[in-house]
Structure 1
Amino acid sequence: MSAIENGAIHRGMSAVARATVRRPWWVIAGWLLATITVAVLVVTLGRPTEEDVSLPGSDAQVGRDLMAANFPTATNAAGQIVVKAAAGRVDDPANAAAITAAVARIAAIEHVVGVIPPSAAQDSLSGDGRIGFITVAFDLGPRDVSHDLAVRVGDAAQPARDAGLQAVPAGVLALPDTSTRTSELLGIGIALIVMVIAFGGLVAAGLPLITALITLVCGVGIVGLLGHVASIPSVAATLATMIGLGVGIDYSLFLISRYRALLAKGLDTRAAITATVATSGAAVVFAGGTVVVALSGLAISGVPILTTLGWTAGLVVLFAVLAATTLLPAILVLLGPRLNALPVLRRREVDPDRSGWGRLADRVTRRPLPWAIATGALLLLLAAPTASLHLGQTDASDQPPGSAARTGYELLTEGFGPGSTSPITVVAELDSPATGPQDPRLADLSRSIRATAGVASVEPARLSADGSVVAVRLEPTTAGSDPQTLHTIDTLLHTPVPGMTVHVAGQTAARGALSDMVAERMPYVIAVVVLLSALLLLVAFRAPVLALKAALMNLLSVGAAYGALTAVFAWGWGIGLVGLDGPIPVESYVPMILFALLFGLSMDYEVILLTAVQESWHATGDNRRSVRDGLAGTGKVITSAALIMVCVFASFVLQASPVIKMFGVGMSVAIAVDATIIRGLLVPATMALLGRANWWTPAWTRRGRTHAPTAPEPVPVGTP
């Protein structure tokens, strides 16, 4: 028997099931208390985020640390309110008076320590005078500028709007829209429809939604609260919401399907719940564990943002597993036979052997070679665009048309050039302290920077208090997302300046370093995730061929996701359907995160399918029949679960953030391909071709174990 059927996980879940059945009210009360506590803390304390990229060991991080140590105020947050006159100039008397009123209102806001109106002297007024920007300085770091504070500053600029000026936030004030309410409601609505069709009643269909919502409140809420003690990017909460909603519904769906099947076999409520948690619950624990392990592989990337996205998503998966295996069974105990209450559709119990999946399984296992060749070729075709995938970095210009961030970017670019939105700071360590601002080495540094191709303007050099560090802020001639900007940064780094060591700091430099680091470490992450996942399957099923084949199949679904990313975002195929107006770069860290997530999520369906196949194998010893029985028995539940997850992920394409759109497209395509082409066709075809080789086990794994029974062990009837 497998480790899931008769191992430590099975025994542990059996104990959990017995405890839950005995004290259901205690379990429900504990979950309600935890949910209310987390919700109150989130409302009271908020969920701070930080978009800065930290890259230990990179030159960009060295420059950033030098700036923080020697120019403390330079690291405080500063944003802009960009103003544009419909006619005339921004500094015309009437417009200037309105801007002065706006400046006064902004200056009165807490944490605002400086407000500078547009002026030619400050280089904040365009040459034709039609566009300018109000600079707003804070006594906070970038991570501490909350959405509420940014909104208050933007609202305080209303006098400028009343005078007919266009006034939009930019920089740190143009915070991304992190609200997921629309996507959540759409995903939940579609999931409810799918589950009503699957279960036929509102009560059974509503239970997975209850566990998923509690998973979101607890898991995503805790992720948000951890933003007070760690750097959590805004994308982390959104990604955690996507994963939590998808797996939270799916895991409960698996358990309810198993529970209803056991009831149909004549078990009473408590025995059916106990058997469900011990079997399907064990499979869910193992499946969730594979997701967490796959996400843990991101830690070896050495990139903090990837590690953070990994453990935050993994935390929500853990809550989904806990809710499905404890809260759901406790509710089932209290519901008893009322699980089928509020019927909406008449359900017809179809013999799996006569179902559509049973007929498909017959066809696939009867002629496996043509099916394997055809599906393999189709998957390679879907993955083919990946060959031209090039990683880059997005900026405000890639936001949806009409968004505040996009509008502010466009106005700054129109008035001050594309480089105005992506300033760069050259930080140089002097071999010996400077004698003062007139030290010739400072002039040499500024001269070298001005002579560098791709530099549009250079500000005066600043010297640290001890004279050991000098900083020069410049604007490139190209935008931050333009590859030419990264070439300019590389040129600056390799420009020799006598008497000093040069570094380059700023978000543009950091994101460029992130792209390089991701490209360098991606092969190691892939190798570790594939190896760990294969080892987990080996432990679970004790069949090396199955474990290796499952890892290869998962690579194919990831390849399809990468192909979709390239075709949609890099090539622009159907880009308008996702709310963008043209091709954009694929954000450098998205493929690595997608790989870990999809590899883990694909294992969910692999575990469910292989558990059913192996159960039939132990009962019959007939490989072809066991493959057919496994696909026929799990096809409906896997399809329903996958459809829900695809709809949930696809609904997040509605988000304004291009990065979230990338996750939504990549994950929905991969899950759709995985649950249909791979699990429904390619896996059964290859298993039928391999025959008994599927179940070969090394001699050392059989030591100390008894032979597998020839029939499934009976499930005890009665109250445990």
Structure 2
Amino acid sequence: MSAAREGGPVHRWFTGAGRLAVRRPWWTISTWLLVTVAVAAMVVTFGRPVDDDTTMPGSAAQHGRDLLEIHFPGTGGATGQIIVRSTDGPLDEEAVRAAADRIEELDHVDAVTAPTTEAGSLTADRDTGYLTVQFDVGPRDIDAELTAAVLTAAAPAADEVLPGGTLARPAADTRRSEALGIGVALVVLVAAFGGLVAAGLPLLTALLTLVCGLGAIGLAGHLTAVPEVATTLATMIGLGVGIDYALFMITRYRSLLTTGVPVPEAIVTTVASSGSAVAFAGGTVIVALAGLAVAGVPILATLGWTAGLIVLVAVAAAVTLLPALLMVLGHRIDALPIRRRPHVQRPVRPSMWAALSDRVTRRPWPYALASTVLLLVVAAPVTVMTLGQTDAGDQPPGSAGRIGHDVLAAEFGPGITGPLTVIAELTPPAPVPMTLRSPSPSPGGHTSAGPASPRPSGAGGTAATGTPGPRVRDPRVDALVKALTEVPGVERVHPPRISSDGQAVTVRVIPETGPGDPATVATAERIAAVKAGRLDIYVTGQTAMKAALAERVGGRMPYVIGLVVILAALLVLAAFRAPVVAVKAAVMNLFSVAAAYGVLTAVFQWGWGVTLVGLSGPVPIESYVPMLLFALLFGLSMDYEVFLLTAVRESWDATGDNRTSVREGLAATGVVITSAALIMVCVFASFVLTSSPVVKMTGLGLAVAIAIDATIIRGLLVPATMAMLGRANWWTPGRDPVNRP
């Protein structure tokens, strides 16, 4: 039994793919190398921009952003801050203005606003302030070179100059994690295969998968918004499944060689059996990720298709490139051995997994009950899990973003790092002085993670000094400002700014609490409910957008879970024609996901051992992480379920004895699945070393779930439940399970 039934069209297709690799191995290898070089060259030439901006179609926060784009042209550009501090008295205002002038002369800088006490960007003792830098390009184009140029221009302004907002966005720091994951994978592969050549092949195919997959994702960044976390996530998944799929294929190939099967026949058989199972497993992951599209959350849809793309490339490499490499190597797959394989067959002793399965199937009820209770205990914290948003203050201590955030929060209050932008349309339009009838810089840069200070009252004046220009009094605007000032949770309200067409007014509101505090979301909701005449008020900015994201994720989560569970169960049903097995596989995977959620809640929300993952204290669980983890974990866990069930079904078809088939299936797959799971756990866990709290959550959640799935669930719960169900495991409507096909 395999994912592709013998004699069926899918089986014939994979058999044909195996024969092509046997006949034209160098043609296949050359094609892969050419594609890899071409993709790498295009990435080097055109780059791979990332965009961490949050959008939420259909939300009030998104409507407010759209109004900003219409009435305040230029708000799409990124905004950053330069924090200036003096250690021996007030800041030198002349030096600060000169720095602002130098920064404004740089390419892609649209305007610079120097710190003033009126705008709330200068402390009362005048020793600390921040310049707001408005760019004419989006966050994806704020690269290290532009950031360095801005910091260099600002350096003479004060004793200490720090970046903030977009300028302090951390660069991807995954190289250490990638190196550690590859190193551990090599050790596990050498232990599993006993030779360097066999161990090196999975790493080679995984690296080619990463170059092609990540390159394609990076190039897609020129066409659509791709967040930086997408490439990090794709790296994790690409390394994990790329190595695992090759591991399964090579294990099958070497076992065939051991029995005396000729190399060409062994390759064709491997592709037709293990290759089809790999494709089915990868398809399950892709289908689970596709379920994210129904969430109505752009960032989740993007993370879904980028991760799905890397899985697709990994499957393609496993069923085309790897067989061609095996044909070229032949029996040399066992070259460079670390330990010698015995020439004389020794009596095979029962493996650990066979012995465990034998004990479990003899007394299934105690093992099923104990493992279920253990899983429920681990998953228990999920009942109080809350979704929130991380900010620069949640980054590891000592990082640029964290330092800038802490200075701003200490000097100007925690709300300065998560300002709220209020916009309202004015009908009829407000009168506007002639000096304002032209497009002006952004009122605050809603794309930035940090604060942005608008020019006071929307007036003219110079950008570098922020000097107030002529004011326009409108009773509707005055009423709005007064109402906003009285909202509980508001620290201060910046002067209003009227658009050049007079049809909209925007006000920057600084809350008393930081962006990651649930109290800030409550403040934003109170602001949105403000009644100021007949004005329709919209609250936008990154804090409001992420709050809308959390609300939508919470509302759509049940639908995504239901869809993914149904689709995955249908795929298993199509593969094994066994409804009971399909339902049981879905339930088992729900256990592993729930356990991962419980660990995430305990570590990140409660702070249990959070310092061990490089953070200084509890942080909010980013709103989209649980839904993303669900799709990924359900797909990846189904991989191991498919490989195990394939072996069990083969034994069942041969013996008709349920207990024997469970024992033999677990014994046959125990070592290879354990090795594959260990590799995935180490790869995922290594990404806890990155600076991003979101990546830490994702890496830890994936590692915990795979570890639980490969031990408690596969070693105890699956054999116990299969033993209890007996022949019902393989029941098919209208067919007697005793009379097997």
Fold conserved (TM > 0.5)?
yes
What is aligned with 1:312?
306
What is aligned with 2:47?
46
**SS at 2:168 equivalent:** coil
- Mapping 1:643-658, distance limit 5 Å: 643-658=678-693
Instruction: Decide which of 388, 392, 399 is 1:392's aligned counterpart.
Output: 388
Deviation (angstroms), 1:353: 5.9
Distance in 2, Cα, partners of 1:215 & 1:521: 32
Structure 2 residue 259 is matched with structure 1 residue 265: yes
Structure 2 residue 486 is matched with structure 1 residue 492: no
**SS at 1:83 equivalent:** strand
**SS at 2:5 equivalent:** helix
Of 464-473 and 55-64, the range deviating more from structure 2: 464-473
Contact 2:3 2:276 in 1 (8 A): no
Instruction: Decide which of 668, 674, 695 is 1:639's aligned counterpart.
Output: 674
Of 222-231 and 9-18, the range deviating more from structure 2: 9-18
Distance in 2, Cα, partners of 1:508 & 1:451: 20
What is aligned with 2:587?
552
**SS at 1:698 equivalent:** coil
What is aligned with 1:5?
5
Q: Percent identity?
A: 60
* Residues 234/179 of structure 1: CA separation in 2 closer, same or farther (3 Å cut): same
Query: Paired residues, what number?
Result: 699
* Residues 615/420 of structure 1: CA separation in 2 closer, same or farther (3 Å cut): same
Contact 1:131 1:411 in 2 (8 A): no
Structure 2 residue 170 is matched with structure 1 residue 169: no
Instruction: Decide which of 597, 601, 605 is 2:632's aligned counterpart.
Output: 597
Structure 2 residue 223 is matched with structure 1 residue 211: no
Distance in 2, Cα, partners of 1:707 & 1:18: 34
- Mapping 1:402-417, distance limit 5 Å: 402-417=398-413
- The one-letter amino acid of 1:42's match is V
What is aligned with 2:136?
139
- Mapping 1:213-362, distance limit 5 Å: 213-347=207-341, 354-362=350-358
Structure 2 residue 616 is matched with structure 1 residue 581: yes
Deviation (angstroms), 1:649: 0.2
Gap runs ≥5 in structure 1? 710-720
**SS at 2:354 equivalent:** helix
Distance in 2, Cα, partners of 1:347 & 1:111: 63
* Residues 351/241 of structure 1: CA separation in 2 closer, same or farther (3 Å cut): farther
Deviation (angstroms), 1:456: 1.6
Distance in 1, Cα, partners of 2:489 & 2:203: 54
What is aligned with 1:715?
none
Contact 1:353 1:629 in 2 (8 A): no
> 1:654-673 deviations in whole A, cap 9, x for unaligned?
00000000001100000000
What is aligned with 1:685?
720
Distance in 1, Cα, partners of 2:150 & 2:386: 38
**SS at 2:4 equivalent:** helix
Distance in 1, Cα, partners of 2:427 & 2:104: 41
Contact 1:431 1:499 in 2 (8 A): no
What is aligned with 1:125?
122
What is aligned with 2:539?
504
Distance in 1, Cα, partners of 2:139 & 2:304: 23
Distance in 2, Cα, partners of 1:336 & 1:3: 26
* Residues 426/121 of structure 1: CA separation in 2 closer, same or farther (3 Å cut): closer
**SS at 1:17 equivalent:** helix
Distance in 2, Cα, partners of 1:376 & 1:352: 33
Contact 2:72 2:499 in 1 (8 A): yes
Distance in 1, Cα, partners of 2:593 & 2:688: 19
- The one-letter amino acid of 1:283's match is A
- The one-letter amino acid of 1:600's match is G
Contact 1:91 1:129 in 2 (8 A): no
Distance in 1, Cα, partners of 2:337 & 2:346: 18
* Residues 434/226 of structure 1: CA separation in 2 closer, same or farther (3 Å cut): same
- The one-letter amino acid of 2:18's match is A
- Mapping 1:387-536, distance limit 5 Å: 387-436=383-432, 437-536=472-571
Deviation (angstroms), 1:151: 3.2
Distance in 2, Cα, partners of 1:140 & 1:562: 38
Distance in 2, Cα, partners of 1:669 & 1:530: 20
Contact 2:677 2:707 in 1 (8 A): yes
- Mapping 1:40-119, distance limit 5 Å: 40-91=41-92, 97=95, 99=96, 102-103=99-100, 105-119=102-116
> 1:347-380 deviations in whole A, cap 9, x for unaligned?
4688776111111121111111111111111111
- The one-letter amino acid of 1:573's match is W
Deviation (angstroms), 1:431: 4.1
- The one-letter amino acid of 2:186's match is L
> 1:139-197 deviations in whole A, cap 9, x for unaligned?
1123332243223323443435xx6x222110010112213111100000000000000
**SS at 2:700 equivalent:** helix
- Mapping 1:704-715, distance limit 5 Å: 708=740
What is aligned with 1:563?
598
**SS at 2:375 equivalent:** helix
- The one-letter amino acid of 1:133's match is Y
- The one-letter amino acid of 1:138's match is F
> 1:261-316 deviations in whole A, cap 9, x for unaligned?
11111101111011000000000000000000000000000000011101100000
Let me know the Cα RMSD of the aligned residues.
1.9
Deviation (angstroms), 1:410: 0.6
Distance in 1, Cα, partners of 2:30 & 2:102: 48
* Residues 442/672 of structure 1: CA separation in 2 closer, same or farther (3 Å cut): same
Structure 2 residue 650 is matched with structure 1 residue 615: yes
- The one-letter amino acid of 1:44's match is T
Using structure 2 for the length normalisation, give the TM-score. Answer: 0.92
**SS at 1:228 equivalent:** coil
- The one-letter amino acid of 1:182's match is R
Distance in 2, Cα, partners of 1:54 & 1:597: 22
Deviation (angstroms), 1:492: 1.0
Contact 2:499 2:505 in 1 (8 A): yes
Of 337-346 and 401-410, the range deviating more from structure 2: 337-346
Distance in 2, Cα, partners of 1:200 & 1:3: 29
* Residues 90/645 of structure 1: CA separation in 2 closer, same or farther (3 Å cut): same
What is aligned with 1:370?
366
- The one-letter amino acid of 1:326's match is T
- The one-letter amino acid of 2:632's match is L
Distance in 2, Cα, partners of 1:553 & 1:462: 56
Contact 2:84 2:128 in 1 (8 A): yes
Of 453-462 and 559-568, the range deviating more from structure 2: 453-462
Of 339-348 and 631-640, the range deviating more from structure 2: 339-348
Distance in 2, Cα, partners of 1:177 & 1:590: 20
> 1:1-35 deviations in whole A, cap 9, x for unaligned?
56523343322211111111111111111111111
Contact 2:415 2:513 in 1 (8 A): yes
Using structure 1 for the length normalisation, give the TM-score. Answer: 0.94
Distance in 2, Cα, partners of 1:688 & 1:218: 44
